[in-house]
């Protein structure tokens, strides 16, 4: 019975059916890290919207004074510091090693988005409120400011899509791994809001900082520090673009303003 060739054939078929198909590990890795990245990304965005809407007065941090302000400053600094360092050459090599195995480099953009989302989630969820509220909009002012706040977020969403939603959301890495294709970044953005400003993402994010209906010392600290970041950090980004695109970016840079749109539009094309 144990040497029946028909039984042996059935056993071979059963083993083959249970064996994962070629590339199953790669697909599972891509889908797994993609799902985690997008869930954390959504959580971070929601935390940002809610926390700033209340002027950073409703976060979950519980650090006692006088250490609360030091903790809050550390939360502010950690995002732009890591966000910029990971875009350097050494930072890129580190990102490629964070996922063990042969796919770390392909997933680097997804890993970068995951880290940035975790940083933002920590900033807005773990902030320790001061408990001081200077001003809270009411009536018609509340409606007007809420509309401005929503418009600023819509602009930020639009600018992110214009720049390449797959890069901004972290989808580029895991989708490239799924399709077994090289990671190909979108071309230099010049359309949409990029026809009017070179840095619409940073400008839109700065607008979200200042169109809130509740003002506290916490919100003022966040708004001033991150507005400075939004004005200065893109300089590093433009250096990378200058190296990557050369004369194309130089021409675009000449005709399109940095952060304040001109009344008359110049088409970089």
**Residue 11: what pLDDT?**
54
pLDDT at residue 36 greater than cutoff 90: yes
pLDDT over 60 at 17, yes or no: no
What is the mean predicted confidence (pLDDT) over 154-182? 91
Q: Is the pLDDT of residue 114 over 70?
A: yes
pLDDT given for residue 260 in this prediction: 86
Record the pTM: 0.84
**pLDDT band at 22; cut points 50, 70, 90:** low
- Three-state secondary structure of the chain: CCCCHHHHHHHHHHHHHHCCCCCHHHHHHHHHHHHHHHHHHHHHHHHHHHHHHCCCCCCCCCCCCCHHHHHHHHHHHHHHHHHHHCCCHHHHHHHHHHCCCCCCCCCHHHHHHHHHHHHHHHHHHCCCCCCCCCEECCHHHHHHHHHHHHHHHHHHHHHHHHHHHHHHCCHHHHHHHHHCCCCCCCCCCCCHHHHCCCCHHHHHHHHHHHCCCEECHHHHHHHHHHHHHHHHCHHHHHHHHHHHHCHHHHHHHHHCCCCCCCCCCCCCC
Q: What is the mean pLDDT of residues 97-120?
A: 92
Does 122 score more than 70 pLDDT? yes
Euclidean distance between CA atoms 148 and 141, whole angstroms: 11
Report, as an integer, the average pLDDT of 36-54. Answer: 97
CA distance 14 to 58: 57
Report residue 12's pLDDT band, with 50, 70 and 90 as the boundaries: low
pLDDT of 135 > 50? The answer is yes
| Model confidence pLDDT, tens digit, residues 51-102 | 999 999 999 999 998 899 999 999 999 999 998 888 888 888 899 898 888 8
């Amino acid at each position: 019975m144990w040497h029946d060739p028909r039984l042996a054939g059935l056993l071979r078929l059963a083993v083959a059916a249970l064996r994962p198909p070629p590339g199953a590990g790669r697909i599972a890795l891509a889908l797994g890290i993609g799902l985690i990245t997008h869930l954390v990304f959504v959580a971070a965005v929601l935390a940002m919207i809610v926390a700033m809407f209340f002027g950073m007065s409703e976060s979950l941090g519980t650090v006692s004074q006088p250490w609360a302000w030091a903790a809050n400053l550390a939360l502010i600094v950690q995002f732009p510091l890591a966000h910029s360092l990971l875009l350097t050459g050494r930072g890129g090599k580190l990102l490629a090693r964070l996922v063990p195995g042969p796919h770390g480099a392909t997933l680097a953009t997804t890993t970068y988005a995951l880290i940035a989302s975790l940083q933002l989630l920590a900033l807005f969820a773990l902030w320790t409120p001061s408990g001081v509220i200077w001003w809270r909009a009411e009536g018609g002012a509340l409606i007007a400011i809420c509309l401005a706040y929503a418009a600023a977020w819509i602009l930020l969403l639009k600018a992110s899509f214009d720049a390449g939603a797959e890069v901004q959301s972290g989808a580029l890495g895991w989708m490239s791994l799924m399709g077994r294709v090289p990671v190909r970044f979108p071309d230099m953005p010049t359309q949409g809001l990029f026809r009017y400003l070179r840095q619409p993402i940073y400008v839109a994010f700065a607008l979200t900082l200042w169109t809130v209906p509740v003002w506290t010392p916490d919100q003022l600290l966040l708004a001033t520090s991150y507005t400075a970041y939004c004005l200065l950090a893109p300089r590093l980004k433009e250096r990378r673009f200058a190296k990557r695109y050369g004369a194309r970016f130089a021409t675009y840079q000449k005709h399109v303003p940095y952060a304040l749109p001109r009344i008359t539009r110049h088409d970089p094309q």
